Amino acid sequence: MLAHLLPGLTGVFSPLNVFVYISFRTAGAVVTSLIIAFVFGPVVIHRLRLANIGQVVREVGPETHLAKSGTPTMGGLIIILATTVSTLLWARLDNPYTILALVALLWMGVIGFLDDYLKVVQGKTRGLVARYKMVGQWTFGLALGAFLVWNPISEHPTTWTTVPFFADFAAVFTVPAFIVFTGIVVSGSSNAVNLTDGLDGLAAGLTAISSATLGIFAYIAGRVDTSQYLGFFYLEGAGELTIFAFALAGGALGFLWFNAHPAEVFMGDTGSLALGGALGVMAILLKAEFLLVIVGGVFVLETLSVIVQRGWFKYTKRRFGEGRRVFRMAPVHHHFEKLGWSESTVVIRFWILGVLFAMVAFSTLKIR
């Protein structure tokens, strides 16, 4: 909004010209997200407590988590509010990258909200049945793929995507395969963050790291000179996605103020599905779907730990009559808790891994 209104007044007050620059508006978006989260966070938490919207903790989980039962959940509303308002204020609203990313955040947030509402408010332990959640995620993913095919937003072929470590090579999909691929990326990313959201501050911190990393790639992709020099696809207008990405990172960090151990509030599926969906859509818009596997490496490891655990348990039960486990508990962050690591230790060490994965992602710009 500000990018539309204020630059036109530079004739009256020339310093307003700074609102033309993405770097300035990105900084403003981060600060705005943080302030909104700090100001409205306590209000949202208070409302959740009054409504008796508390987390239900599984008895099969780590014993230390039982004390968390009743902690307000659905706190992802704080992140969604902070990111949405900040993006609307600082980004250009005629930019398709910005609009699609915002729609993804809100769409997935609604799915997560319905799931949390049914579980916590209505008392339905299964919440929104898994297949219905998947339908919602896949519906958006497939619709996004179809929209991009028939309404291209860049000069590059929609069905082409970059491959990390290769400057002159792109993965090329057929139209049907690309549409299915977007569904896989959106649902996979959304569920990966959801699985990771099991410890105080873990998902929020990792999301801030991943979102900021994608934001830098968006800035690179939106500049002719930088993208050409680094061998990255030039995507006209993609720079505006930097503002959304950093607004999301700022919202996640603001939420972390209340979600740090011991957490005053949990993000719930409202937050985790929204954050994961937004990360997946940003990667799709930047033609960096494969890069997302590196950027969100910790999310990938968490998801793989669940897949391996379930697969091995089912196989050994069928083969030997008794299910066996690879990890003491999945997702893998609980495995380390079972080994005796404190919750804060696991979270901080996983954040460090998240930063390392981000550095590996940046290295792909030069190792080609």
Give the pLDDT of residue 44: 96
Mention every residue, 6+ apart, whose C-beta is less than 8 A from residue 98: 87, 91, 92, 240, 241, 243, 244
- Residue 72 pairs in a beta bridge with 54
Give the pLDDT of residue 312: 96
Q: Evaluate if residue 140 carries a pLDDT over 70.
A: yes
More confident residue, 334 or 169: 334
Residues above pLDDT 70, as percent of the chain: 93
Q: Evaluate if residue 129 carries a pLDDT over 80.
A: no
Cβ–Cβ under 8 Å, residues 242 and 222 = yes
Q: Evaluate if residue 132 carries a pLDDT over 60.
A: yes
Rounded-to-integer distance, Cα 356 and Cα 217, Å: 16
What average pLDDT does range 76-99 have in this prediction? 96
Q: Per-residue DSSP letters for 59-123?
A: TTS-GGGGGGTT-B--THHHHHHHHHHHHHHHS-TT-HHHHHHHHHHHHHHHHHHHHHIIIIIS-
Give the pLDDT of residue 19: 83
In 3D space, the residue among 124, 129, 128 whose CA is nearest the CA of residue 113 turns out to be 128
Give the pLDDT of residue 61: 60
Give the pLDDT of residue 11: 64
Residues above pLDDT 90, as percent of the chain: 76
Cβ–Cβ under 8 Å, residues 40 and 82 = yes
Give residue 84's identity as a one-letter amino acid code: T
Give the pLDDT of residue 10: 67
Model confidence pLDDT, tens digit, residues 238-294 = 999 999 999 999 999 999 999 999 999 999 999 999 999 999 999 999 999 999 999
pLDDT level of residue 93 (50, 70, 90 thresholds): very high
Q: Evaluate if residue 343 carries a pLDDT over 70.
A: yes
Give the pLDDT of residue 118: 87
Q: Evaluate if residue 235 carries a pLDDT over 90.
A: yes
Model confidence pLDDT, tens digit, residues 3-51 = 777 766 666 666 778 888 999 999 999 999 999 999 999 999 999 999 8
Give the pLDDT of residue 59: 53
Displacement of CA 161 from its chain's centroid (Å) = 20
The beta strands (E) that lie in the chain are given as 160-163, 166-172
Q: Evaluate if residue 233 carries a pLDDT over 60.
A: yes
Model confidence pLDDT, tens digit, residues 40-81 = 999 999 999 998 887 766 655 676 676 677 789 999 999 999
Cβ–Cβ under 8 Å, residues 295 and 358 = yes
What average pLDDT does range 344-354 have in this prediction? 97
Give the pLDDT of residue 13: 66
Model confidence pLDDT, tens digit, residues 144-194 = 999 999 999 998 899 999 999 887 788 999 999 999 999 999 999 999 999
Cβ–Cβ under 8 Å, residues 112 and 76 = yes
Least confident window among 85-99, 117-131, 316-330, 347-361: 117-131
Q: Evaluate if residue 208 carries a pLDDT over 80.
A: yes
Rounded-to-integer distance, Cα 2 and Cα 24, Å: 12
In 3D space, the residue among 238, 207, 244 whose CA is nearest the CA of residue 221 turns out to be 238
Q: Evaluate if residue 127 carries a pLDDT over 70.
A: no
In 3D space, the residue among 52, 94, 137, 86 whose CA is nearest the CA of residue 248 turns out to be 86
The beta strands (E) that lie in 203-315 are given as none
Rounded-to-integer distance, Cα 153 and Cα 33, Å: 27
